[in-house]
Chain A
């Protein structure tokens, strides 16, 4: 059940304090390492202060369709995870986090312990107005399992979207979350995703960034319980004039947790991207197995790809590695396809979709089909009717 939190006291207090924090803090500056390559000072952010906007959240009906799945009403005051998350923002968090808490309306999707659903839960968040601050918290109880497709779609007047997503996974739960942000070419996106994964719980988060003029996105995942597992994947396309700054953090706080992150992007001439990834292993996180990779495909000269994978390892009983590659399409592969009758543009389209394929594979068709269509349009300029996987065996 998705519920609104407007009427809860402690929540309102958190909002008030967020408002004053927003008012008294500056925008992140370029001297801050995390923002160094994405200078927000020229984006005209001040114009959006006080701008109105709303976010309406709708979800696919019939959540209880599958046998055994049961989603009941949430008792908001007793959602300790949500409260903790709000409290957490009080201490840290940047101006955007405070802004989101102050201006946005929080929605909660609660998955009761032991529940599961056979079909993906489709959550669509529509933004209207000038600036919007949607906030969704997904709380999975012990042993709950769900696949969630979360689309944030900006209306035509939107200039700034400040999105917050919290994922709380109780012990033994399993969440597969597929997130996309869709808008026109001129929108500024600020995205903050936080995940906390308890003992033996498993998270898969895949985000697709193919819209907007400027995207600053952070996915911060804390593996808090032993045996926790997280996969943080990303697909992005930086067309000309688009700048994407994507950051993932894999925080290993407890022993025997595993995590993997793979961000793949394609850049056109005039596009730019920054992929920052951090694996941080605490002193007691023995038995950690963590991997981080960024793969950048340059589709033209004049693209700029920065890759900053970082390891901070404080325990020796670990296996941690990261990799980064940046390069172009292989001429040998292009020639092979041309010798089979592909023109250069169709060859590049097939190869770029092939480049992203391993990430699409994990996603439900309702997420990947429109994404593939959008990428095809961005790559070739026309919809590829053959892009869908209908023919698959």
Chain B
């Protein structure tokens, strides 16, 4: 069954300043959406608000995951129901190794899955040997040295290593929807290709009950979109989505820059979803 992440008229901000001014968007399983826009348009705010970062406040509108009110769920609950936010600047957690963190995350998912029948959460626990093998294989696929398993999570990682770690987590935790904030910031071409490799594998993996992987790639530049072809492209400006279209929009934006976007009228959700 296809899943839907739906956002309607979302208004949100931080420290009394409103950043999202009524945003509409709908993502279904199997769809890769790209979200582009100039700096300050609110792209990162959207990503953070959807994952439940308490620093931001929702002041209007709604968002739902399969019809369930997203904002009524805690960050933990959103994650357990299959939402994943890949951070632009992942926090460092000294003392907690990558291996221990991932194992525990999978266990919690599995416990949740056992408690919540019908929940779209894959079997995570399995046997220990299976976990280790799966982790090693995934690390190899993401071209990360095996020693990262025992390194403290994100501590001392370069920008590229941090991004690969976020993608690695997605490959291990298999979320239904991922929101990837500034997916390509700070990456050189090689790191970017590896990140794209991971995203494409997620896209191709239909092991989550036959559903595809849905994603919102938040990006300023087109480079990643050369490697991971989006199904839909949206342009944000001053807290709203002002233009939506197919992949050809990327080329147009590159030619014309972001300035022309300022004068566009805001399309409705119906128009976007078609």
Contacts and interface: CB of A to CB of B under 8 A. Distances in A.
Q: Do chains A and B touch in the complex (CB under 8 A)?
A: yes
Interface of A: 330-333, 335-344, 346, 350-351, 353-358, 384-386, 389-393
A247 to B, nearest CB: 25
B96 A351 contact: yes
Contacts of B103: 386, 391
B95 A346 contact: no
B95 A355 contact: yes
Contacts of A333: 91, 93
B81 to A, nearest CB: 9
A393 B149 contact: yes
Given A336-B87, A351-B95, A384-B104, 18 more contacts: A331-B54, A336-B93, A337-B93, A337-B101, A339-B75, A339-B78, A340-B169, A341-B109, A346-B104, A350-B96, A354-B96, A385-B107, A391-B103, A391-B131, A392-B150, A393-B99, A393-B136, A393-B150
B262 interface: no
23 contacts: A335-B53, A336-B91, A336-B93, A337-B93, A337-B105, A338-B75, A339-B51, A339-B85, A340-B169, A340-B173, A341-B76, A342-B79, A343-B76, A351-B96, A354-B152, A357-B95, A386-B100, A386-B104, A386-B107, A390-B128, A391-B103, A391-B128, A391-B132
Contacts of A350: 96, 100-101, 104
Given A354-B93, A357-B96, A342 B76 contact: yes
A341 B96 contact: no
Question: Which of A336, A342, A385 gathers the greatest number of chain B CB atoms within 10 Å?
Answer: A336
B71 interface: no
Nearest to B75: A338
B159 interface: no
Given A350-B101, A357-B96, A339 B52 contact: yes
Contacts of B76: 338, 341-344
B157 interface: no
A353 B104 CA distance: 12
A335 B54 CA distance: 8
Interface in B90-116: 90-91, 93-97, 99-101, 103-105, 107-109, 112
Contacts of A332: 91
A353 B100 CA distance: 10
A382 to B, nearest CB: 11
A372 to B, nearest CB: 10
Nearest to B94: A354
Nearest to B131: A391
Contacts of A393: 99, 132, 136, 146-147, 149-150
Interface extent on B, as a size class? 35 or more
A135 B132 CA distance: 44
Given A338-B75, A339-B79, A356 B84 contact: no
Contacts, number: 99
A63 to B, nearest CB: 32
Contacts of B101: 337, 340, 350
Given A386-B104, A393-B146, A341 B112 contact: yes
A11 to B, nearest CB: 45
Contacts of B52: 335, 338-339
A391 B133 CA distance: 10
A389 B100 CA distance: 8
Nearest to A357: B95
A343 B52 CA distance: 13
Question: Which of A330, A333, A389 gathers the greatest number of chain B CB atoms within 10 Å?
Answer: A333
Given A351-B93, A351-B96, A391-B132, A342 B51 contact: no
Interface string B110-147: 00100000000000000010011000100000000011
Contacts of B74: 338
Given A335-B54, A386-B103, A392-B150, A341 B80 contact: yes
Contacts of B100: 350, 353, 386, 389, 391
B75 A335 contact: yes
Nearest to A349: B104
A153 B36 CA distance: 63
A391 B101 CA distance: 11
A354 B152 CA distance: 9
